[in-house]
Amino acid sequence: MSLEIKICGLSTPETLDAALGAGADMVGMVFFTPSPRHVDLATATAAALAARARGRAQIVALTVDADDATLAAIVDAARPDMLQLHGKESPERVAAVRARFGLPVMKAIGIATAADLARLSAYADVADRLLLDAKPPKGALLPGGNGVPFDWNLLAGLDLTRPFMLSGGLDPDNVGEAVRRVRPPGIDVSSGVERAPGIKDPARIAAFLRAARAADATESEHSTGDKPAHTSSARETSPS
């Protein structure tokens, strides 16, 4: 299976088209008011962007500790293919959201030290995917989208039972190395393909996808068939 690439924080038709045209597998909309990428539900933008992307890429709605009413409004307006929970949602809350909305759920987990990996297994039992992101820097206003990487060495030998996406500080210059070193099933980027906070750059989006696909192709070509521990067969199963 080839690398899945998500471009997150898309909020205009032009930049959405850039991601779709360059071959993104997933496109993300942020529903979190403090974010410069926030898509306002009070306008028709979310529905219009989703209609533009539908059938061309998976539509992911990113929320942060959203309550059921907010999630229902987002699902109603955008009809996403997946919900990304990027706050402090507990495993129980992830399971409840998944059951209530009948959509696959990707849970973001902040990683800074090896101790943070201990939290993964509880979420792997209830989420369809895990998004391994850097923990926000001290004083940051956002729980993600900060353009900060974490130490990828922490993931060496990780044995995950779910597909995961690597994120945090990826950009067109470092994504090749990330793909070669971590060999993640998927990657996700937001600020690394922007020219200013919240302003996506079509040229950087295209460059990111090119660099990631090239590294993935090289890896597949040189692969010995040995898979990293995190690609064990159990990861293809769904939470019960």
Ligand X SMILES: O=C(O)c1ccccc1N[C@@H]1O[C@H](COP(=O)(O)O)[C@@H](O)[C@H]1O
- Per CB under 6 A, residues contacting ligand X are 8-9, 28, 30, 32, 35, 37, 62, 64, 86, 133, 142-148, 167-170, 188-192
Rounded to the nearest whole angstrom, what is the least distance from the CB of residue 105 to ligand X in the complex? Answer: 14
> Distance between CA atoms of 228 and 157, rounded to whole angstroms?
7
Amino acid at 126: V
Give the residue with the Cβ less far from ligand X, 144 or 172.
144
Give the residue with the Cβ less far from ligand X, 23 or 136.
136
Rounded to the nearest whole angstrom, what is the least distance from the CB of residue 49 to ligand X in the complex? Answer: 15
> Distance between CA atoms of 94 and 119, rounded to whole angstroms?
13
Give the residue with the Cβ less far from ligand X, 43 or 224.
43
Residues 6+ apart with CB under 8 A from 119: 109
Rounded to the nearest whole angstrom, what is the least distance from the CB of residue 17 to ligand X in the complex? Answer: 19
Residues 6+ apart with CB under 8 A from 34: 141, 142
> Distance between CA atoms of 193 and 208, rounded to whole angstroms?
7
Rounded to the nearest whole angstrom, what is the least distance from the CB of residue 148 to ligand X in the complex? Answer: 6
Give the residue with the Cβ less far from ligand X, 98 or 110.
110
Q: Tokens at residue 30, please? A: 């942020």
Residue of 98, 85, 195, 103 whose CA lies nearest to 144: 85
Give the residue with the Cβ less far from ligand X, 43 or 232.
43
Q: Three-class SS of residue 148?
A: coil
Task: Specify whether the CB–CB gap between 83 and 64 falls below 8 A.
Answer: no
Rounded to the nearest whole angstrom, what is the least distance from the CB of residue 137 to ligand X in the complex? Answer: 11
What phi and psi values does residue 42 have, to the nearest 5 degrees? Answer: -70, -20
How many whole angstroms from its chain centre is CA 194? 16
Give the residue with the Cβ less far from ligand X, 28 or 172.
28
Rounded to the nearest whole angstrom, what is the least distance from the CB of residue 26 to ligand X in the complex? Answer: 10
Task: Specify whether the CB–CB gap between 38 and 63 falls below 8 A.
Answer: no
Task: Specify whether the CB–CB gap between 56 and 34 falls below 8 A.
Answer: no
Rounded to the nearest whole angstrom, what is the least distance from the CB of residue 178 to ligand X in the complex? Answer: 11
Give the residue with the Cβ less far from ligand X, 124 or 143.
143
